[in-house]
Amino acid sequence: MSESKEFLYPVKWLSKASAGDRVACELRMRIISGLIESGTILSENKLAAEYNVSRSPIRDALKILASENLIRLERMGAVVIGITEKEVEEIYDVRLLIETFVFERLVKIDTFGVVKELNKILEMMLIAIKYKDADEFAQQDVLFHETIIRAIDHSYITMIWNNTKPVMESFILLSMRMHFSQKYDDLSRIVKNHELYIEAIKTKNRDIMIQSLHQNFDDVQGKVDDLWMSQQMLSKAREQEKE
């Protein structure tokens, strides 16, 4: 195979993962980044050969990706669905839907513990910026939202989060790498918005929450543009490689 052997997904995050999970994470990144184009048909046997594992973990991986709506398991082969601008918007719809629901629960309970946790994560994010560690920043960003969601202890909301998290994670990873390399200044804006989010939870103020969401939309738009750009870049790079 002539493909690049570099992994898009941070290898150190996979220390305790099974082969199936590793393949799923890597394939997910390749699909979301556009490296594997929408419409591609994935073969279990070819993937098994490519990743030097048997079909069993490949099957596991494909099942996972199918449940995340990244591929469609058909009679013959798995068809890559991929992520278009529409899908990105839809993922954020879901995140907003969940987080607004969570907020309504949070205003009814003691949020001291969560706020403390969130502040800790925020400080970690600042350290990640300081050391220009995009992956670490992305991980903390995901953890930030996960912490909020888990705070209300709602098993089926958590379930939805678990199902959307991997895609969110990959997306944020790619987006943050882009920000760290090209739009470094945006990071402080992102941090500011997280601060606002914490403030909303702390004061249980819906207006601030809305404000935070509003700013988040801007971030989303930015991320969409970025992803689009990165995909364009990638496909251009591929074209040149083929020549």
Which residues in this chain contact a second copy in the complex, by CB under 8 A? 60, 63, 67-69, 81, 86-87, 90-91, 93-94, 96-98, 100-101, 103-105, 154-160, 162-164, 206, 209-210, 213-214, 217, 226-227, 229-231, 233-234, 236-237, 240-241
Q: How far is the CB of 200 from DNA (least distance, A)?
A: 39
DSSP the chain: --S----SS-GGGGTT--HHHHHHHHHHHHHHTTSSPTT-EE-HHHHHHHTTS-HHHHHHHHHHHHHTTSEEE-SSSEEE----HHHHHHHHHHHHHHHHHHHHHHTTS--HHHHHHHHHHHHHHHHHHHTT-HHHHHHHHHHHHHHHHHTT--HHHHHHHHHHHHHHHHHHHHHHHHHHHH-TTHHHHHHHHHHHHHHHHHHT-HHHHHHHHHHHHHHHHHHHHHHHHHHHHHHHHHHHHH-
Nearer to a second copy, 132 or 236 (CB): 236
Show the binding pattern over residues 44-73: x = contacts DNA (CB under 7 A), - = does not: xxx-----xxxxxx-xx------------x
Q: Which does 46 bind (CB under 5 to 8 A by kind): a second copy, DNA, none?
A: DNA
Q: How far is the CB of 33 from DNA (least distance, A)?
A: 23
Binding test (CB under 7 A) with DNA, winner from 76, 112, 130, 185:
76
Q: Which does 55 bind (CB under 5 to 8 A by kind): DNA, a second copy, none?
A: DNA
Contact positions vs DNA (CB under 7 A):
18-20, 43-46, 52-57, 59-60, 73, 75-78
